[in-house]
């Protein structure tokens, strides 16, 4: 049962004045921005429209590989051979890593070839090496997309090459994928994203990320371009511990993608700011516990918690705690068990995690029997 706790939240001094979200205009037909520090959506324009992703689909190929590496099912030093059939199909077909027939290429090198060089050939070689065939790998891509809640996206190949409408995404789903990549694989993200260039077979190619060198803290993620999709970009940057993810799609020129991406990300950092709500470790509320050696567990902030609001004004903020409860014991200290829902007039709902402040063990035998009797008699 979903529980909502509204009362007795620690007091936070906030202005009651409601202000409009900072104005922003973009030539991009599709745009979306979220602040990972708070979960706030700062901007959306046709964010749920299904579109061809072009090379932005490669983020899912990388995500699948990262997941396998982190879980010990794939090693960065594992090597895959470039077979002749794959080479014939993808040699100089769009963006390329310039792989050669028979090359033995490590997973590490292929990931650099995908992330930095956007190599269509690198994607297929990696997919075949991991799953045996590209279609089998695509099944993994769609499985991960479902797990991430990318409900309006599907993948038909590993590199985003036009496939008569099979592969489609939305800006909101691309932001979910980018956010999950940053959050779930921080060490791998740091190792592979944000590289200026990469060399293979004596050919050095630069990263096409339009933010790098133009926006402080820019380190990801992926550009995309086909005639059908236009020019798109899913980007991320971190400044002073605050990370933004942006998506633009459908732009009509390479230069336009650069200009709009830089303008959009700068707006996100300059027009909005984080406002601290609670310090790390603050007890926010108590939650009911089922069949535990304690009837309640404290809900605490796992880190400093912020809301994102326009820089010009505080805005109006309301808060409530939600959890599925009572929460069943045992519960480990630090276990995520609830959500602080922060609502602002400017950025909608912002979902912040709360964790258990203490360990709660299971109730003893007689306590469990007594709890069952009370439930049977309607006393619980």
- Which amino acids are annotated catalytic? 55, 58, 118
Q: Cβ neighbours of residue 91 under 8 Å, at least 6 residues apart?
A: 99, 121
The DSSP secondary-structure symbol of 154 reads B
How far, CA to CA in Å, does 307 sit from each of 175, 225, 349? 19, 34, 10
Burial class (CB in 10 A: 0-12, 13-18, 19+), 279: exposed
Beta carbons within 8 Å of 58's beta carbon, 6+ residues apart: 114, 115, 118, 123, 158, 159, 160, 222
β-pair partners for 234: 222, 247
Is the peptide bond between 37 and the residue preceding it cis, with omega within 30 degrees of 0? Answer: no
Identify whether the C-beta of residue 105 lies closer than 8 Å to the C-beta of residue 80. yes
Smallest Cα–Cα separation from 121: which of 103, 142, 141, 140?
103
Tokens 């099979």: give the residue. Answer: 166
- d(Cα 249, Cα 271) in Å, to the nearest integer? 22
What is the CB neighbour count within 10 angstroms for residue 376?
9
Is residue 178 a contact partner of residue 185, using CB atoms and an 8 Å limit? no
Looking at residue 117, the DSSP 8-state letter turns out to be T
3-state secondary structure of 283: strand
- Contact assessment for residue 225 and residue 55, using Cβ atoms and an 8 Å cutoff: yes
Helices (H) and strands (E) in the chain, counts: 9, 18
């Amino acid at each position: 049962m979903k529980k909502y706790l509204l009362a007795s939240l620690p007091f936070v001094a906030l202005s009651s004045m409601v202000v409009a979200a900072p104005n922003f205009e973009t030539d991009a037909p599709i745009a979306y921005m979220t602040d990972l520090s708070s979960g706030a959506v700062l901007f959306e324009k046709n964010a749920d429209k299904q579109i061809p992703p072009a090379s932005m689909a490669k983020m899912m190929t990388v995500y699948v590989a990262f997941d396998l590496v982190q879980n010990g099912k794939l090693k960065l030093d594992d090597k895959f051979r470039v077979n002749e059939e794959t080479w014939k199909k993808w040699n100089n077909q769009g963006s390329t890593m310039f792989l050669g027939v028979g090359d033995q290429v490590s997973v590490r090198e292929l990931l650099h070839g995908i992330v930095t060089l956007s190599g269509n050939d690198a994607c297929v070689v990696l997919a075949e090496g991991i799953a045996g065939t590209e279609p089998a790998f695509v099944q993994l891509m769609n499985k991960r997309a479902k797990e991430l809640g990318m409900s309006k996206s599907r993948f038909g190949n590993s590199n985003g090459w036009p496939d008569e409408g099979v592969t489609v995404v939305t800006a909101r789903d691309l932001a979910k994928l980018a956010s999950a990549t940053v959050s779930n694989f921080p060490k791998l993200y740091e190792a592979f994203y944000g590289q200026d260039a990469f060399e293979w077979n004596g050919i050095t190619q630069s990263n096409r990320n339009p933010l790098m060198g133009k926006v402080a803290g820019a380190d990801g993620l992926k550009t995309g371009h086909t005639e059908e999709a236009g020019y798109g970009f899913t980007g991320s940057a971190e400044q002073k511990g605050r990370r933004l993810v942006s998506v633009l799609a459908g732009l009509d020129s390479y230069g336009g993608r650069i200009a709009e991406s830089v303008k959009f990300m700068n707006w996100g950092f300059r027009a909005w700011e984080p406002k601290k709500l609670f310090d790390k470790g603050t007890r926010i509320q108590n939650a009911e516990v089922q069949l535990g050696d304690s009837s309640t567990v404290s809900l605490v902030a796992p880190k400093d918690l912020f809301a994102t609001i326009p820089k010009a004004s505080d805005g109006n903020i309301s808060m409530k705690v939600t959890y599925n409860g009572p929460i069943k014991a045992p519960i480990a200290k630090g276990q995520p068990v609830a959500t602080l829902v922060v609502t602002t007039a400017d950025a909608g709902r912002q979902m912040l995690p709360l964790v258990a402040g203490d360990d709660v063990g299971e109730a003893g035998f007689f306590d469990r029997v007594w709890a069952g009797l009370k439930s049977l008699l309607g006393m619980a």
